[in-house]
Structure 1
Amino acid sequence: MAHIVEQAEALKAAAVAAGPSAPVPTCPEWTVNDLVRHIATVHNMACEALKLTPADSRPPAPDLPENWDDLLTWWDGKRTEMVAALGSAGSGVQAWGFVPGTGTFGWWARRQAHETAIHRLDAEHAHSENIPTLLFDPELAADGIDEALVMLSPYRAHMKRPEVTVEGTLLVHAADAGRAWMVNAEGGAVKAGPIEDSGTDADATLAGTADAVYRAAWKRPSHAILTGREEMLRAVNAG
């Protein structure tokens, strides 16, 4: 929850500095206004999901203000409400989630920490070409890599969004976090999990600081190093 607050405040500051009409290079069809509308919609969905059970239907999309200043105010209120709701119950309390069997308050807190952090990065790219290479601390970044590999990539492959067209293995190593994962793609399915030995053989390797690998796993510009069969990165699909 602390990461949600920190990353949301940084996202807003970068968005305001860039201005609503600025293009977002990392989301080529979006302006900053589109980016803020998206994150406001997602934070609203999280708020509504926490009021539901796993058996309920997806919450409806909200009617967002058209005016930029009103949109920022609406988003301020919604994310404040979301953080308060997340803190109102234990992490294991069930709620609706878009991945069957995963919806809990803790799952939503993690999901929104990384949703907000990655879109904060988008806002930073819209604001400036000079983005710090160590923007995210290793613990947050490593957790975001884990979410991208272990939860989101298998789910999106199962939903065929998009269909995985590669087969093989990808070793992912976040050096400063001391963590490594193996991604296996076969028959259109993706499976991933942590491993102890970062020297394990694989068809391709993605390595660097946790910050760099985090960005690469979420298909953002990165200084992570990809070697071997570079097409294996297509098995990673968090966005």
Structure 2
Amino acid sequence: METPAFIKSLVHDGQLLASAAEEAGPDAAVPTCPAWQVRNLLRHTGMVHRWATGFVAEGHTGYRAGAGEPDLDGDELLEWFREGHGLLVRALSEAPPDLSCWSFLPAPSPLHFWARRQAHETAVHRADAQSAAGGGPGHVAAEFAVDGVDELLSAFHARPKSRVRSETPRVLRARATDTGDVWTVRLSAQPPHTVRTDDGPADCELSGTAERLYLTLWNRLPLEAVSVTGDTGLARLWREQSGITWSR
């Protein structure tokens, strides 16, 4: 996917997130994030949006901590979220293609990285908001879902901080039945190594539409949402250890 397509997704999902959060109300529980209420979801995602905007708009070439979550609630919190989402969209839309700034995953350019990362950040949390509103996690377009699975497996979990480890080497495969995309994830005591091929036998395979794989691998749908063959314990290991948490 190209940068403009990610920005378009960011616009759409940010608006849906805000609408679902408004419908659910700040006290509503977020089933996909059991420790959160909707206010926590808005505070977190809005904080991340502003954090990302700082790098894009101000061109910081080194890491900078975010300002933290605000002590806001209700209509004031929702307005703050919408404002920050708009600032991020504007910064990405107006940034030059050769933008130079800090980023933390491989990408063709810093601008592409931030557009992609914030599009998926917002899509996953939009699913949270819609679940809180009682409507399920919502739709994810196949092309976008494939990209999100790839970001998760090939980028996030290639980092040393990935907790998905196995003392005995194991192979987990993810297969998108509608697009034909396949990921083979080799697990060991080191960070996972992922290739985009059907590379030999697997101990466990998760298969389903790209949308269902995306939401399941990001832990927004239960494992039962996809077909699991082989060692179900390996699927549960993923479920228990793969969560991406805010640590900056």
Give TM class, smaller chain.
0.7 to 0.9
Listed one character per residue, the Cα deviations across residues 80-115 of structure 1 (whole Å, up to 9, x for unaligned) are: 111111122345533222448887111011101111
Which of 93, 96, 111 is the aligned partner of 1:87?
A: 93
* 2-structure distance, mates of 1:3, 1:205: 29
Is the 8 Å Cα contact of residues 207 and 226 (structure 1) preserved in structure 2? yes
User: Aligned in 2, Cα 1:70/1:100: closer, same or farther, shift over 3 Å?
Assistant: same
What is aligned with 2:190? 188
* 2-structure distance, mates of 1:20, 1:202: 43
* 1-structure distance, mates of 2:178, 2:103: 32
State the Cα distance separating 1:210 from its structure 2 match.
0.5
State the Cα distance separating 1:171 from its structure 2 match.
1.1
Is the 8 Å Cα contact of residues 48 and 66 (structure 2) preserved in structure 1? no
Q: Secondary structure at the match of 1:177?
A: coil
Is 1:96 the equivalent of 2:102? yes
Q: Secondary structure at the match of 1:87?
A: helix
Is 1:45 the equivalent of 2:51? yes
What is aligned with 2:233? 231
What is aligned with 2:136? 131
Q: Secondary structure at the match of 2:76?
A: helix
Q: How does 1:24-173 map to 2 (within 5 A)?
A: 24-50=30-56, 51-54=58-61, 56-62=62-68, 64-91=70-97, 93-99=99-105, 104-128=110-134, 130-131=135-136, 135-155=139-159, 158-160=160-162, 162=163, 164-165=165-166, 167-173=169-175
* 2-structure distance, mates of 1:15, 1:39: 12
Q: Secondary structure at the match of 1:30?
A: coil
Q: Structure 1 unaligned runs (5+)? A: none
* 2-structure distance, mates of 1:83, 1:217: 26
User: What is the aligned length?
Assistant: 231
- % identical equivalent positions: 32
* 2-structure distance, mates of 1:70, 1:61: 18
* 2-structure distance, mates of 1:135, 1:63: 28
Runs of 4 or more above 6 Å deviation: 100-103
State the Cα distance separating 1:230 from its structure 2 match.
2.5
* 2-structure distance, mates of 1:226, 1:150: 21
* 1-structure distance, mates of 2:41, 2:150: 24
Q: Structure 2 unaligned runs (5+)? A: 1-6
* 2-structure distance, mates of 1:43, 1:37: 10
Q: For the aligned residues, what is the CA RMSD?
A: 2.3
Listed one character per residue, the Cα deviations across residues 54-75 of structure 1 (whole Å, up to 9, x for unaligned) are: 3x23233246251321121122
One-letter code of the match for 1:5? V
State the Cα distance separating 1:33 from its structure 2 match.
0.4
User: Aligned in 2, Cα 1:238/1:108: closer, same or farther, shift over 3 Å?
Assistant: farther
User: Aligned in 2, Cα 1:163/1:178: closer, same or farther, shift over 3 Å?
Assistant: closer
Is the 8 Å Cα contact of residues 23 and 31 (structure 1) preserved in structure 2? yes
One-letter code of the match for 1:72? L
* 2-structure distance, mates of 1:39, 1:63: 9
Is the 8 Å Cα contact of residues 107 and 113 (structure 2) preserved in structure 1? no
TM-score (norm 1): 0.87
